[in-house]
Structure 1
Amino acid sequence: MSVPRYPKPPFKPQQQKFPGKTDKMEPRPDHGEESYIGHGLLVGKRALITGGDSGIGAAVAIAFAREGADVAIAYLPTEQKDADHTLKYVRDAGRNGYGHPCDVSDPEQAEALVRATVEKLGGLDVLVNNAAYQRYFENFDEITLDEWHKTFATNVHAPFNLVRLAVPHLKEGGAIINTASVQSKKPNPSILPYATSKGAIANLTIGLAGMLASQGIRVNAVLPGPIWTPLIPAGMSEEELVNFGDHVPMGRPGQPAELASAYVMLAADTASYTSGALLNVSGGAVTL
């Protein structure tokens, strides 16, 4: 298999409203629909992926299914079309695919999500906290307290709550994978609330790894660099979008499919001694 010649900037202007639609992106992101090949690394696993309709979450869902896992995805109700696309590939892989529209920042909806996932899949082995909210701000005065709260409700409070709800169902060997960001180490001031929330997720990951180790549950995080997902046209300025990804050594944004293997590795039993890791996937950019 050779690596596709993925697109490089500049990209055409294509602003969207949050959370963004895959079909409106040009070029269309690669979620591994045609390229990801499974090797049986997750046979028998049951996984819940938030934000699994598009972007990184969709790529992880497709990869997990092709590795042998049954997959539940959570997504906002407005994202049904993207969710149906992802679930088609999960089911085409011969796996049980369950879609649950909800807002994970709402505690009651999150509780219903975990309860339904356990019922539909017959249990839970892997939780992937991937759903996120991002907005661009030109200056500090634009950042309202409501925006700050909204960002943390989705990006920090929801993942903690889902861990709290999932842990009683995770047996020894269970895995929790959080999507953090290189922003947690090198924040872009124009997305300050998002960057700060990802710093919190990185610390949450390390702390949970220590707290849950005695239960045999591993907790890790993936720190993506610039990745071509609907979150970008929905949460970046036009100038940053046009040149998105040109600052990393590879000179382009990554595609969602290029992150899937990191999540597969962290979910697999072969990573039994890996916990508390912050795995940087950023096209050669180094963050300390």
Structure 2
Amino acid sequence: MTGSVIITGAGPGVSGSLARLLAREGHPVGLVGADERAVGDLAADLADAGARVGSRLADLTDAEATHAAVTGLAAELGPVDVLHFNPSAFREKDPLELTAAELLEDVALGVGALLTVVRAARPHLREGSRITVTGSMAADEPWHRAASLGVQKAGVRNLVHSIDATLRDDGIRAVSVTVRGALSREGAFTPDRVAAAIRAALDQPVGEWRTEIPYSG
């Protein structure tokens, strides 16, 4: 791969680790996120390490702004070899506290925004391009006190299957890496270790491609 990487939902955790990992391999990196400080700090870190980097601020639930951000970065940095989708909404409410409107709001970020991102990037994807998503065990083992998160992670994993089926005849594949543990500063679930698992998923043999890969450390 010699093209660019676009990270959506960019921040200091797994997405930041993945950005640094792929930048070290020589890829230009584009960052899209809503947190000005988080995006700016990551962009500065990458630039200081010698990477070519671009960034855009956008609320990923704003389809127009997100489309402009992704297409702008692709035009600036070149064909997209890796498109990574990272965001989700954490709202500590159980099913009796969570309203339907709040659930839909959260799903708009954690699931619906993936559609916006992929549609924007599609003209800049090519044979061999890969779409990756940070998944979670919440898809299978939701915590009832954050009911919307499980719905988001189950939904985005399902959507990845459909995206892969839609694009695979063009040589573009999609995969969700299900993180089966809580992120931590040490051990198997550090952001760097999870990012390495996502990076490894890019190298799957096409004939044995899996659209979901569990990461259990």
TM-score (norm 1): 0.70
1:131 match: secondary structure: coil
1:187 match: secondary structure: coil
Distance (Å, rounded) in 2 between the aligned partners of 1:264 and 1:96: 19
Which residue does 1:263 correspond to in 2?
198
Which residue does 1:72 correspond to in 2?
30
Which residue does 1:214 correspond to in 2?
169
Spell out, residue by residue over 1:191-220, the C-alpha distance to the aligned partner (whole angstroms, 9 max, x if none). Answer: 111101111111111222222110100110
Select between 47-56 and 82-91 the one with higher mean Cα deviation.
82-91
RMSD: 2.0
- Asked whether the equivalents of residues 221 and 277 of structure 1 are also in contact (C-alpha less than 8 Å), the reply is yes
More strand, by proportion: 2
Spell out, residue by residue over 1:17-38, the C-alpha distance to the aligned partner (whole angstroms, 9 max, x if none). Answer: xxxxxxxxxxxxxxxxxxxxxx
More helix, by proportion: 2
- Asked whether the equivalents of residues 73 and 99 of structure 1 are also in contact (C-alpha less than 8 Å), the reply is yes
Cα 1:212–1:75 shift into 2, 3 Å: same
Q: What amino acid is aligned across from residue 115 of structure 1 in structure 2?
A: T
Spell out, residue by residue over 1:148-176, the C-alpha distance to the aligned partner (whole angstroms, 9 max, x if none). Answer: 11111101110022112212211110100
Which residue does 1:101 correspond to in 2?
57
The structure 1 segments of at least 4 consecutive aligned residues displaced by more than 3 Å after TM superposition are 270-276
- Asked whether the equivalents of residues 32 and 70 of structure 2 are also in contact (C-alpha less than 8 Å), the reply is no
Q: What amino acid is aligned across from residue 128 of structure 1 in structure 2?
A: H
Which residue does 1:166 correspond to in 2?
121
Distance (Å, rounded) in 1 between the aligned partners of 2:49 and 2:201: 21
Following TM superposition, by how much is the alpha carbon of 1:253 offset from its aligned partner in structure 2, in angstroms? 7.4
Q: What is the percentage of aligned positions where both structures have the same residue?
A: 26
User: Which of 120, 132, 142 in structure 2 is aligned with 1:177?
Assistant: 132
Which residue does 1:110 correspond to in 2?
66
2:84 match: secondary structure: strand
Spell out, residue by residue over 1:48-89, the C-alpha distance to the aligned partner (whole angstroms, 9 max, x if none). Answer: 11121221111111111012211111111xx22222222233
2:38 maps to 1:54: no
1:230-245 matches, within 5 Å, as none
Which residue does 1:201 correspond to in 2?
156
Q: Say which one has the larger Rg.
A: 1
User: Which of 120, 123, 130 in structure 1 is aligned with 2:76?
Assistant: 120
Following TM superposition, by how much is the alpha carbon of 1:131 offset from its aligned partner in structure 2, in angstroms? 1.5
Following TM superposition, by how much is the alpha carbon of 1:260 offset from its aligned partner in structure 2, in angstroms? 1.4
1:22-41 matches, within 5 Å, as none
Distance (Å, rounded) in 2 between the aligned partners of 1:254 and 1:55: 11
Cα 1:87–1:132 shift into 2, 3 Å: same
Spell out, residue by residue over 1:224-277, the C-alpha distance to the aligned partner (whole angstroms, 9 max, x if none). Answer: 221149xxxxxxxxxxxxxxxxxxxx9x77211111112222335x64445343
Which residue does 1:277 correspond to in 2?
211
Cα 1:277–1:254 shift into 2, 3 Å: same
Q: What amino acid is aligned across from residue 76 of structure 2 in structure 1?
A: K
Following TM superposition, by how much is the alpha carbon of 1:46 offset from its aligned partner in structure 2, in angstroms? 0.5
2:189 match: secondary structure: coil
- Asked whether the equivalents of residues 110 and 153 of structure 2 are also in contact (C-alpha less than 8 Å), the reply is yes
1:173 match: secondary structure: strand
Structure 1 gap ranges (5+): 1-41, 230-249, 284-288
Distance (Å, rounded) in 2 between the aligned partners of 1:64 and 1:71: 8
- Asked whether the equivalents of residues 172 and 217 of structure 1 are also in contact (C-alpha less than 8 Å), the reply is yes
Q: What amino acid is aligned across from residue 58 of structure 2 in structure 1?
A: C
- Asked whether the equivalents of residues 74 and 121 of structure 2 are also in contact (C-alpha less than 8 Å), the reply is no
Aligned pair count reads 216
- Asked whether the equivalents of residues 223 and 278 of structure 1 are also in contact (C-alpha less than 8 Å), the reply is yes
2:40 maps to 1:84: yes
Cα 1:253–1:140 shift into 2, 3 Å: farther
Distance (Å, rounded) in 1 between the aligned partners of 2:11 and 2:58: 12
1:108 match: secondary structure: helix
